[in-house]
DNA sequence: GTCTATATCCCGATAGAC
DNA sequence: GTCTATCGGGATATAGAC
């Protein structure tokens, strides 16, 4: 990934490539700045400097500050949707929940600025995302909630409130991206290593599965109903 | 702060009362605006309008935008510290953890704007709070972490990473204040009722205690080591 | 297509009238 | 003490030179 803007000679082919390249520079820089200062607190000037381009160039490529912001939000929602798998009541709860936690964790830490951009938008009352939240996302939550309830009816997990459970997974995973400054300050680390991420992922999976009484899926075998089985991924305690 | 009877000069008293009253108006309004738009995105003009005072009045009372912001952060840290109880290894894990979750939940929902103000500060890289995070708060976390580890050594709970556990409790409770817009959009509610709060609190306590394998403290009785006892506060499932 | 120069407005902060 | 008027600077956005 080159970090310098392309202002080279306009040969027919490289024009489009240059434009695409500069757009990517702007989007990456804008995600950082918007995440850090929020919509109003971010200035086009600051975004331009972060992208090493003139301010007018940013507005020329993106049209307006608001259009740029909306485009970034849409990109983040797209990433989000990419891991919102469909699940059915026939699936194994343990597998689905661990995969859900793992993917959410990876998304947050693969795109920390996007995650913080989203967080800042919600923190400010979600002026640009209300429709998405109470429409598309709400439907997604409701459909998964129904599956969780059916799992509980079949005795595959405890009858917990499925919406609170989804919020628990969202909040506890996103925390490591959104509150990174706090996490690093308290742990004294400079960054979270791959091992840390793996450790946290296993910790959260363990707590959620055990906390919800999810039975291990063992085909052709009876499952003990009141024992707390040792899970295969007991987290290290530091 | 004196509470003098002073009947001689009521005008002098009402002056101070007016000042105190206006300061409270400004602090409340500023907390809302800063929480919504972040430090840079908030304008003194907007704060003044929210407090129904002239802009110059806000700066006259508070000195500067930054002084006002720092004062609000300090107030929130003070509220925070007020519930950071000391705990010892002799205390009952179940009681301590449930009380911790309950208090944290109440704090977040009693002061949602303060919670969001803090969140915005962390989201932006904690420029004003880094010292607090890597100093006072870090020490607090370490001391509690050591107690959790000792509990695990005594077999009172599973040997989970205590710092991840603290982050889990923080994130999952704060979520309902910081991401209120998302929670309300998805649940379709206009506000979270007292019953909702109680339900969420019990849900989180249940998951954390069961997920960490916290044994119920029963003095003078042996504790079954591998059974998952039914907790007294099994959450309703909706 | 790109970037300089500029238009218009709002920012935080202050001086000075009352 | 309170508030109007204003300052210098920076905001978004655009017009126009190259």
Category of A38 on φ-ψ map: left (φ > 0), alpha (ψ -120 to 50) or beta: left
Rounded (5°) CA angle A161-A165-A171: 145
Are B35 and B120 within 8 A, CB to CB? yes
| Confidence grade of residue A22 (pLDDT, cut at 50, 70, 90) | confident
Per-residue pLDDT at B218: 58
- pTM for the model: 0.88
Per-residue pLDDT at A7: 47
Share of chain A above pLDDT 90, in %: 77
Rounded (5°) CA angle B169-B105-A146: 75
Share of chain A above pLDDT 70, in %: 84
pLDDT tens by residue, A89-98: 999 999 999 9
| Confidence grade of residue A14 (pLDDT, cut at 50, 70, 90) | low
Per-residue pLDDT at B18: 78
Per-residue pLDDT at A148: 97
Residues 6+ apart with CB under 8 A from A33: A42, A43, A46, A47, A50
Question: Does A189 have pLDDT greater than 70?
Answer: yes
Per-residue pLDDT at B227: 41
Nucleotides of C under 7 A from a protein CB: 1-5, 10-15
Instruction: Give the pLDDT mean for B7-29.
Output: 73
The span from the CA of B19 to the CA of B25, in Å, is: 10
Q: B-chain residues within 8 Å CB-CB of A208?
A: 207, 211
Which of A224, A209, B205, A221 is closest to A232 using CA atoms?
A209
Per-residue pLDDT at B12: 55
- Domains of chain A, each with CATH number or no CATH: 12-72 (1.10.10.60), 83-211 (1.10.357.10)
Question: Does A84 have pLDDT greater than 80?
Answer: no
Question: Does A3 have pLDDT greater than 60?
Answer: no
> Which burial class, exposed, middle or buried, applies to B7 when counting CB atoms under 10 A from its CB (0-12, 13-18, 19+)?
exposed
pLDDT tens by residue, B164-207: 999 999 999 999 999 999 999 999 999 999 999 999 999 999 99
Which is more confidently placed, B81 or B1?
B81
Question: Does A8 have pLDDT greater than 50?
Answer: no
Which is more confidently placed, A166 or A21?
A166
Question: Does A236 have pLDDT greater than 80?
Answer: no
**Nearest nucleotide, C1' to the C-alpha of A53?**
C3
Rounded (5°) CA angle A137-A143-A146: 140
Residues 6+ apart with CB under 8 A from B158: A234, B152, B212, B213
Q: Among A116-120, A143-147, A156-160, B14-18, name the one with the lowest average pLDDT.
A: B14-18
Q: A-chain residues within 8 Å CB-CB of B171?
A: 171-172, 174-175, 179
Q: How far is CA B141 from CA A13, A149, A168, A216, in A?
A: 57, 36, 21, 33
Q: Helix A180-187 and helix B112-123: axis angle, to 10°?
A: 80
Q: Pick B185's closest partner by Cβ from A40, A134, A188.
A: A134
Question: Does B208 have pLDDT greater than 90?
Answer: yes
The span from the CA of A90 to the CA of A162, in Å, is: 17
| Confidence grade of residue A232 (pLDDT, cut at 50, 70, 90) | very low
Instruction: Give the pLDDT mean for B147-158.
Output: 97
Is the minimum distance from the CB of B65 to strand C below 7 Å? yes
Is the minimum distance from the CB of A54 to strand C below 7 Å? yes
Q: Does A155 touch chain B (CB under 8 A)?
A: no
Per-residue pLDDT at B164: 98
Average pLDDT, chain A: 88
Question: Does B76 have pLDDT greater than 80?
Answer: yes
Question: Does B233 have pLDDT greater than 90?
Answer: no
Instruction: Give the pLDDT mean for B204-233.
Output: 66
Per-residue pLDDT at A19: 80
Question: Does A191 have pLDDT greater than 60?
Answer: yes
Q: Where are the alpha helices (DSSP H) in B83-129?
A: 93-110, 112-123
Q: Among A212-226, B36-50, B179-193, name the one with the lowest average pLDDT.
A: A212-226
Give rounded-to-5 percent helix, strand, coil for chain A.
Answer: 65, 0, 30
Share of chain B above pLDDT 70, in %: 84
Is the minimum distance from the CB of B66 to strand C below 7 Å? yes
Record: contact B162-A238, CB cut-off 8 A = yes
Q: Does B206 touch chain A (CB under 8 A)?
A: yes
Per-residue pLDDT at A2: 38
| Confidence grade of residue A12 (pLDDT, cut at 50, 70, 90) | low
Per-residue pLDDT at B163: 98
Which is more confidently placed, B164 or A236?
B164
Per-residue pLDDT at B127: 97
Per-residue pLDDT at B13: 60
Which is more confidently placed, A223 or B149?
B149
Per-residue pLDDT at B2: 32
Q: Among A112-116, B68-72, B81-85, B172-176, name the one with the lowest average pLDDT.
A: B81-85
Record: contact B237-A160, CB cut-off 8 A = yes
Q: Pick B122's closest partner by Cβ from A41, A170, A182.
A: A182
**Cross-strand partners of B89:** none
The span from the CA of B83 to the CA of B102, in Å, is: 11
Record: contact B161-A199, CB cut-off 8 A = yes
The span from the CA of B226 to the CA of B238, in Å, is: 29
Which of A68, A70, A69 is closest to A60 using CA atoms?
A68
Q: Among A55-69, B72-86, B150-164, name the one with the lowest average pLDDT.
A: B72-86
Distance from CA of B43 to the nearest CA of A (A): 10
Strand, helix or coil for residue A227: strand
Q: Pick A40's closest partner by Cβ from B37, B206, B212.
A: B37
- Write down how long chain B is: 238
Instruction: Give the pLDDT mean for A15-19.
Output: 75
Interface test with A, best of B181, B202, B205 (most A CBs within 10 A): B181
Number of H helices, E strands in chain A: 11, 0
Instruction: Give the pLDDT mean for B46-51.
Output: 95
- The gap between the terminal CA atoms of chain A, to the nearest Å, is 36
| Confidence grade of residue A217 (pLDDT, cut at 50, 70, 90) | low
Per-residue pLDDT at B231: 44
The three state secondary structure string of A9-34 is CCCHHHHHHHHHHHHHHHHHHHHHHH
Q: Of chain B residues 35-64, which have a beta carbon within 7 Å of strand C?
A: 42-46, 55-56, 59-60, 64
| Confidence grade of residue B224 (pLDDT, cut at 50, 70, 90) | very low
Which of A218, A198, A204 is closest to A93 using CA atoms?
A218
């Amino acid at each position: 990934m080159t970090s310098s803007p392309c202002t080279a000679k306009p040969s027919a082919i490289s024009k489009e490539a240059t434009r695409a390249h500069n757009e990517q520079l702007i989007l990456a820089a804008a995600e950082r700045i918007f995440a850090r200062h929020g919509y109003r607190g971010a200035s086009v000037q600051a975004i331009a400097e972060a992208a090493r381009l003139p301010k007018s160039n940013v507005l020329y490529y993106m049209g307006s500050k608001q259009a740029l912001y909306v485009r970034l939000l849409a990109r983040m929602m797209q990433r989000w949707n990419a891991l919102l798998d469909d699940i059915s009541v026939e699936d194994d709860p343990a597998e689905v929940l661990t995969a859900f936690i793992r993917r959410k964790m990876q998304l947050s830490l693969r795109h920390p600025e996007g995650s913080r951009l989203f967080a800042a938008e919600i923190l400010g009352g979600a002026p640009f995302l209300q429709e998405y939240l109470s429409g598309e996302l709400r439907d997604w939550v409701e459909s998964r909630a129904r599956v969780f309830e059916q799992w509980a009816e079949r005795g595959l997990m405890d009858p917990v409130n499925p919406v609170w459970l989804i919020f628990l997974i969202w909040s506890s995973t996103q925390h490591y991206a959104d509150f990174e400054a706090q996490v690093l300050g308290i742990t004294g680390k400079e960054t979270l290593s791959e091992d840390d991420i793996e450790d946290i992922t296993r910790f959260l999976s363990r707590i959620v599965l055990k906390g919800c009484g999810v039975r291990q899926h063992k085909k052709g075998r009876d499952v003990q109903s009141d024992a707390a089985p040792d899970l295969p991924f007991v987290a290290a305690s530091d």
